[in-house]
Amino acid sequence: PGDGQGGQSGHGGQGGPGGPWGTAPVPSSGPSERKPRGLVAAVLAAVLVAGGIGGGIGFWAADQESDGDTTTVSAYGNPKTESRAPGSVSSIANKTLPSVVTIEAQGNNGESGTGTGFVYDKQGHILTNNHVVASAADNGKLTATFSNGKRYTAQVVGRAQGYDVAVVKLKNASGAKLDPLPLGNSDRVAVGDATVAIGAPFGLSGTVTTGIVSAKNRPVASSDGGGGNASYMSALQTDASINPGNSGGPLLNADGGVIGINSAIQSAGNGSGLGESQQSGSIGLGFAIPINQAKNVAEQLIKTGQPVYPVIEATVNMKDSSSGATIASGGAGGSPAVVPGGPADKAGLKSGDVITKLDDTVIDSGPTLISEIWTHQPGDKVTLTYKRGGKVSKIDLTLGKRKGDS
């Protein structure tokens, strides 16, 4: 069944010399000397299995006698090379990691989890996923640890379950170095654009992975596996490796701008989600909330502490379908499926109508309809295409508004 309001109770550039990052590779004339980066200690949520040989073997040497001469074999490289080309993954990671935090949430009922967030502004607001902080939202304990090891307690400013977005704020953060990450424009992202994901998969803080934008406008209904209501997004799909613990972390473009918040993965079993109760691994199907939408939600949460959802005020069936989103025969608790006086009612929609398009976007199910509606703002005008008794019609509809999660 639907949830009561339209299914709701209610460039990164690529190409150029040297590969997708648009920079030529640094000539490899000698071994690179990498400065070690401090790792934040975290509780591992998985057993790491060493495959054969452990450790990192940087080079090997062997003495061989040939006509009395000794030959030493070693890796090539220049030990003086410490810088990286601007725009390279190393450069992006170096600039971004100090503004990414590992979030640990501890609930009063013993429930806990680890996720990621990133600095949103200089006031100490951190942007993350709702499902990362949900367990600690009611008088629980939240901590945010920076890449330099400094840890701060935090509190929830606001969270939006439907969007899976939350904002937390650091306490006593006068000594914290707060460098907000630059935000990109997710509307301008193109399939094939290079991506970088940063987070704490399985508690491994400061993990950097790369990939591309695999698809856009992917309708996703995700759950943290905890039995809560689902979240809906018209997501950016990426093949950058993300796992449980990457939740809430930034998905970056090749300029280092945030284009999305990593939020869900497709598991090899069924369903999608990044909750700590679902310890599936990456299979190259990750989904991020577009940053343009997340920014709007974050601003609402900072200002009022509550999310605002655009709605059509009609309940739609939520079972998978390929024909469209069908308006249900009744709403929650015996209420009408089409709320009298609501946007859907004013537009003339009725129970049994099958919505097949929202503007030019094909609607194949209830979750897809919600995902698309939530990319808009209350007051936006949209055109719905629907079927009734075999006849296809179009209507214009002005989206209504709902405050808070029901």
43: exposed, middle or buried (Cβ count in 10 Å: 0-12, 13-18, 19+): exposed
The C-alpha atoms of residue 302 and residue 122 are separated, in whole angstroms, by 13
**Strand partners for 118:** 100, 127
Burial 158-185 (b: 16+ CB within 10 A, else e): bbbbbbbbbbbbbeebeebebeebebbe
Active site residue 131: yes
The C-alpha atoms of residue 23 and residue 314 are separated, in whole angstroms, by 51
DSSP classification of residue 327: B
Q: Which residue has the tokens 């100090």?
A: 98
Query: In sequence order, which residues have a C-beta less than 8 Å from that of residue 112 and are 6 or more positions away?
Result: 104, 105, 106, 135, 276
**Strand partners for 381:** 398
Is there a contact between 234 and 163 (Cβ–Cβ < 8 Å)? no
Active site residue 164: yes
Q: Which of 164, 193, 239, 353 is catalytic?
A: 164
Q: Which of 3, 88, 125, 131 is catalytic?
A: 131
Q: Which of 241, 247, 263, 371 is catalytic?
A: 247
Active site residue 234: no
The C-alpha atoms of residue 375 and residue 296 are separated, in whole angstroms, by 10
DSSP codes of every residue in 10-44: ------STTSTTSSPPPP--S---PPP-PPPP---
Residue 269 in 3-state DSSP?
coil
Strands (E) across 33-181 are located at: 64-66, 69-71, 100-106, 112-119, 125-128, 141-145, 151-160, 165-170
Catalytic residues: 131, 164, 247
